[in-house]
Each structure stands twice: as structure tokens, then as C-alpha cells.
Amino acid sequence: MTRASRKPKPFAVPPKEAPVPVVIAKAKAAPSDQAHPHQNLDRAARAAMARLSGGVSTHSFTEAWNDWAQHLARSPGRQMELAERAVLNAWKLMGMATAPGAGSPYAPKAHDHRFDHPDWQKLPFKHLQQGFLAWQDWWDHATAPTRGLRPEDAERTRFLARQMLDVVSPSNFPMLNPEIIGQTVKTGGRNLTEGAAHLMHDAVKTMTGGRDPAPEGFEIGKELACTPGKVVFRNDLFELIQYTPQTAKVHAEPILIVPAWIMKYYILDLSPHNSMVRYLVAQGFTVFMMSWCNPTADQRELSLEDYRKHGVMAALEAVCAIMPEVPVHAVGYCLGGTILAITAATMARDADTRFGTVTLMAAQVDFAEAGELLLFLDESQIAFLEDMMWEQGYLDRPQMARAFAAIRAEDLIYTRNVQRYFLGRDDLPSDIGVWNADSTRMPARMHSEYLRGLFLENRLTAGRFAVEGRVIALKDISVPLFVVGTETDHIAPWRSVYKTQLFTDGPLTFVLTKGGHNGGILSEPGHARRHYRIAHRPSGALYISPDAWFAQYDPKEGSWWPEWTQWLARQGNGMVSPPETGAPERGYAPLCDAPGEYVFQP
């Protein structure tokens, strides 16, 4: 029997029951949730402090400094080691200074572009650069984990030291930066006046909460998010877009994409040349995309369960009404992948087999190794954020953006500021830059549940995450999984994403691709200097550690997208005629053209 003639995989939908409140919403609630009403004054005071500090609690970092300093104070051997390191670094600098032709003993880190300009290799700027890098080297060594020091405190101390060093980098000062000096001489100081204008513009925008319009040639619905389609369903939480077929025949099974609600969906439908949606449609897939709303203070009580039940499950109901009797390829990106994994595990528990496959892109299910974002999260920090959200109803866009930028402050903050304020250069417009500035808010209740239940308590892989009153387990997912990690992801580190293999038993294909959290996913065919590693794990196979896996599989040149679409096709049942857009007779009539209305919500 040919693949095209095979019958679709049978699937079952469990009978609908009365909704039961999700347990995680009340899991280990903050003590102040049931405290005396007078403590609202405390919460208001902490919320005010949180606004001044950008939402960062100083308690955790002060505690980390104390832990590090006390362990260093009672470790004379460690003190001698650091003294020797300082002397060694000084000798290296002295040797470079006394031998003009000597090479540079220190090099910037791979992601540090502050010293890329060739004039940094000229005297005296080379000495300034090398002196700073020697200082950075010493602090990296001084904040390394030591016996008795809590590892998280060592990492926080290193992070704080790096933030302080970044402030005093010679690249930040006009009289010490050869690129700024050269540009000032060349333009007669015009770069400084233009930079001052940029600074004033950005200061006003920050104080007023304003946003710049999209630059010419990057308009949403025209140049971005422009794959043709129709909105076929809408509720208060999301719109569902069904994209117009572009081939005479399409694969029998549709694709439902669940993007993260921390971002606008069109990162996956960016420009025509790098749109994942356009690529999938061109390969003969019927694609449905969820476009989340941008929550306001009135939606502060939206919960993680709301995003599952009234988001992913409502979208699945619509897709199955429009294309009935066939399983669905479910795809989740970032936070959308996490909620998709929760949904898939819940469906498996409830004998709901409407998912044919599940793809998780840069999505974590275990948060024990969630990277530098964990530096910001402990009980003190989450309580601080909860108080801020208690007052305003959500976590605002700038507050999240600052946290992400601080992880790569040398590049995302200081290099950009030098370019914009001292060199007088505008940010070059780009599709991903427009999307990056078009961030969203996070509703207070959902974000608190997410931080406490997943990041802080890691309940999902610990067997303590309950949906509708019953615990779910990722190992119940039996459908084929396709999991994608990216090599330089600082939001969902690939080793953390890889751990999906540790908590699932079914067939799983893992791909590790070059790039970061966004760039690694947007790896369209023809993208220069791209590679990926791929391997399949059959059901019941033994676990391989991420480093052993990395060493075992050689990289392949090119894009991972064709591998994925071929994998999807192998899981399917051949080609059929394209479906109609929407299903008016079932209550899913087309409402408007893509990209819909929610993507334009400010």
C-alpha cells in the first residue's frame, strides 16, 4: 500500500468535562497573597522600588556578594592564587609594553565587538584595551566557583563583576576610544551633535513610553508578516490565521504553530525571503498560526491554564473543525513550545490523540539549566516582580527587554550606545530589528505562575505539575518529537533544550543548529554560513549526554528546514486537494485578511 493511500491515523477526542481549576495557579503562593491588608502598603513600596531598579531585586545580588566575600576572606590559599594571577597579568602587560612588536596576550570574547575597530591595535589604545581585558580576566578567575560557595552565588557575582567592568570599559569614553576620536575629527564634531539628538529622542521615548514607527520598507502586513491568509477564529486571547495554499496538492495533515506570547508571532513570518511560514506553505503544507493578543491591565488574571485551554486547545478545536479526521502537526517556539509540551502531555494523559507529531523549537521543558536568566530568579526576585505586576497588572516590555539585554550588555547595550550616541549612527533598519522592538506584555498571574511553577520550582519535569487537578508527565507523549536547539542561545541554552530527551521515551529527532535564539531558527535555505547537527533517537534508546552527542555527530552545511519538512512528510499520509479556508458551517468563517488585528495592538 502506498503512502498516499494509507488511511489517516485514528485519533480520539476525550469527552468534554466541567472545567477544574488548574492546581499550579495556587502552587506555593507568595506569603503576602494572604497577608494582612496593611501589607498592601509594603507591596506598593516595593513596586515603586522595582520601577526605579528596572524590576531587579538588589537583595539577591547583595547576598551573593556577601557569600563570595566571606568565602574568599577565609581562604588564604585562594587569596594567594588571585594575587599571583594579578602579578602574572601585570607581567604580561609589562612585557607587551616593553616589546612594541609583541602580540596581544588577551583577546575579547567572541560576542564582544567593542574593540573590533583596527585602531584599537595602535598605541596607546592597545594598552588601554589590553589593560581592560587583563582586568576582566582576573575577575573571571576571581569569581570562579570555589569550595563551599554556592554555585548560583558564584555566577551572580561573576555577572555583577562583568556589569561593573562593562561600565568602565575604555570603549565607553570618547577620549579613550580611537573610533570616536577619529569620527569626531573627520566630521568636525557632527557625530557628537547627532548622537546628542539620538540620546534626547531615546530619553523622551523612554519617559513617555512611546514607540518609533516602523521604518519605510518594513511595514507589517506589506513587507513583514505578508504571507497571504485569513483569520478564521478569534477570541479574547488569540487570533488563528489559516494561510492560503500555494501548491496544487497539499499534505493531508495541517501544521498548527504556537508562538511565544512574549513576542509577536511574525518572527516566523518575517520577510518573504526568511519566512518560515512562507517556506512551509511553498512545500505544500496547510499552515495555521496563532497570533496572541497583547495583554492589558484588564487581563491581569489570565493564567497559564488559560493559555493552554483557551489558547492552544481552542486553536486545535478550530483546526480540527476546518480539517477534520486527520492528525495535526503541532509546532511550538520558545515559551509557545513549553505550553505545547504541557498540552501534549495533558492530551496523552487524557487519551486525546489529535496530535500527529510535536515540534519544539528553542523550547525548554526542564529549567534546572536555563542559563543566565536564572541569575535573576529566586524567591526575593520573583516577589519583587509580583509586587510590580500587582500594581500595574502586567510585566511591561521595557522591563523584560532590559533583563535580556543585560545578559549580553557589552554588545546589546554598550556597543549600541557608543554607535548611536558617540558615533552618531542610526540603527540600521532590519526586519528582525523591527520585530524585536515590537515586544509584548506578560499578564501578572500567568507570569507569576510561569516563574514560580516552572523556572523556580521546575515542577514540569519533577512530576509536580498538575493540569485540571491531575499531574501530567512528559514521558506519556508517544507521538514523534522533533526538537531544535541553537548553539549560542542565551535564552534557552541548547543543553537545556536537549534535556527533552531525558524526560521523554518516544521517538525523537534532535537538531542543533548554528545561531542564537532567533537567528538559529530563522535558518532558511541559502542563508550563508549555516550548519546543523541532526540525530534520531528511537523509542527506548539509552540516554546520551549532550556533550557526548555533540562529539558524536558531525555538522552538516546548510539549513535544517528541509530536514524538518522531509521528516514531517514521512510522518504524514500523502497529498490531497487543498482545504477550504475556514469552515463557516462549523462556526469558523473567515473574519479578515492576515495578519489580522491583534498583531497591531500596541
Q: Are 154 and 145 in contact (CB under 8 A)?
A: yes
Rg (CA), the chain: 26
CA 526 – CA 519 distance, rounded (Å): 14
Residue 527 buriedness (CB in 10 A; 0-12 / 13-18 / 19+): middle
- Phi-psi category of 106—alpha, beta or left, where left has phi over 0 and alpha has psi -120 to 50? beta
Tell me whether residue 320 is one of the annotated catalytic residues: no
Cα angle value 131/134/135 (rounded, 5°): 90
Nearest to 505 by CA among 354, 339, 348, 312: 348
Helix (H, G, I), strand (E, B) or coil at 511: strand
| Total residues belonging to the chain | 602
Nearest to 357 by CA among 573, 576, 574, 571: 571
C-alpha distance from residue 580 to each of 282, 286, 324, 354, 360 (Å): 17, 10, 12, 20, 28
CA 280 – CA 290 distance, rounded (Å): 15
Q: What residues are paired with 231 via a beta bridge?
A: 241, 592
Helix (H, G, I), strand (E, B) or coil at 159: helix
**Which one of the listed residues 226, 320, 334, 592 is annotated catalytic?**
334
Q: Are 566 and 279 in contact (CB under 8 A)?
A: no
Provide the sign of the torsion angle of the four alpha carbons 361, 339, 276, 601, taken in this order: negative
Q: What residues are paired with 330 via a beta bridge?
A: 256, 358
Nearest to 530 by CA among 557, 512, 499, 552: 557
Q: Give me the active site residues, please.
A: 334
